Amino acid sequence: MTGSAGDLCLGIDLGGTKIALAIVDDEGRVHAERRVETAAAAGAETVIAAMVEAGRALLAGARVPVLGIGVGVAGQVDAVDGVVRSTPNLAGWHDVPLAARLADALGLATVLTNDVHAVALAEQAHGAGRGSGHMAVVFVGTGVGGGVVSGGRLIDGAHGYGGELGHMTLVAGGRPCTCGARGCLEAYVGGWAIALRAQEAVARNPEAGRALVREAGTAEQITAATVDRAAEAGDPLAVELAAETGRLLGHGLVSVVHAFNPRRLVLGGGVIEGMPALVSMAADVVRDQAMAVFLEDLEIVPAELGREAGVVGAACLVRRWARGRARGGTTMAESPATSSEE
């Protein structure tokens, strides 16, 4: 396990609906991959068994030894202990020692991280954050996730939970969020929140909402994608909802800029892909609101890596860990997933 160029790693992206697994080289190229459904309702044991089976098949096909396994999980992951603490998409996953389970079953060192932390590592190594040691990723899908690299290191805090940029406060005491708090960024710009804001706008003004209802079928079926399509077709209410989303996202990004002073801010996820104009709308707000010195060499750009970012980033994670070990560290302090009290 020396982490030399050309070494392969197994990256796994565990989501609520599917598990992606890939053998990835150190230039971020995927050599082989598998995607399997996440049998979320069947519980952790079934899901782990499916990961092990797919992982074993991929490892058997690798022509050179594989360094280790990196796993990105949508949720709060104790990166130090390798334990999935909780995840909104996988009911019943509480304190699952996933790293140990995979390491035992597959015979390789395994490190865990949050899924958007993995994306941040991938975008930094091979995508929109290439060459920048100071970058932040905000992923706007159904939920809103984040990952921050500062001074070349993943900022994940005491346990690995840090970088939860979607749950920074956007409006103190504002709209209720799925996390239990009020006023989180996610509660305004996450896909579920855009849908809810649109449904509320339609209820307030059914006349203005006719195009949205027609597009969705019923008012209750309006989603963020409905808003995208109606906005693209020029529907005034949808255009207004999109503009408001861009403005609110921008105010959220001001927090990220002032907290981390990144050089690159990378926006990705399904909502951004569905409505790419959100990037420039949010960037306008950041340029208007953030302090001038923070803006001088800040670039706000879309993510580049698409759906492979999760597995590539998970592979980056374990590669970094293995390299840290190979450099002779007796602690895991070199691993972005294993920062601990120093």
Backbone phi and psi for residue 30, each to the nearest 5 degrees, phi listed first: -90, 120
List 247, 320, 323, 325, residue binding a copy of itself (CB under 8 A): 247
Burial class (CB in 10 A: 0-12, 13-18, 19+), 138: buried
Whether the CA torsion 117, 123, 124, 125 is positive or negative: it is: positive
Comparing CB distances to a copy of itself, the nearer of 229 and 263 is 263
Listed ranges 143-151, 230-238, 265-273, 320-328: which one lies at the site for a copy of itself (CB under 8 A):
143-151
Among 98, 165, 202, 303, binds a copy of itself (CB under 8 A): 165
The answer to whether residue 319 forms part of the interface with a copy of itself (CB under 8 A) is no
Q: Does 168 engage in binding with a copy of itself (CB under 8 A)?
A: yes
3-state DSSP of 248-308: HHHHHHHHHHHHHCCCEEEEECHHHHHCCHHHHHHHHHHHHHCCHHHHCCCEEEECCCHHH
Do the strands 66-73 and 76-78 form a parallel or antiparallel pair, or are they unpaired?
A: unpaired
**Torsion on CA atoms 113, 119, 123, 128, rounded to nearest 10:** -150
Q: Which structure tokens are listed for 29?
A: 């190229």
How many of the chain's residues bind a copy of itself (CB under 8 A)? 64
The stretch among 19-27, 56-64, 168-176, 222-230 that binds a copy of itself (CB under 8 A) is 168-176
H-run or E-run covering 228: helix 224-232
| Residues from 276 through 295 that contact a copy of itself (CB under 8 A) | 289-294
**Residue 320 near a copy of itself by CB under 8 A:** no
CB of 167 to a copy of itself, least distance (A): 4
Nearer to a copy of itself, 212 or 290 (CB): 290
Sites of contact with a copy of itself (CB under 8 A): 76, 78, 85-86, 131-134, 146, 148, 150-153, 155-165, 167-174, 179-183, 188, 247-248, 251-252, 254-256, 258-263, 289-294, 297, 333, 339-342
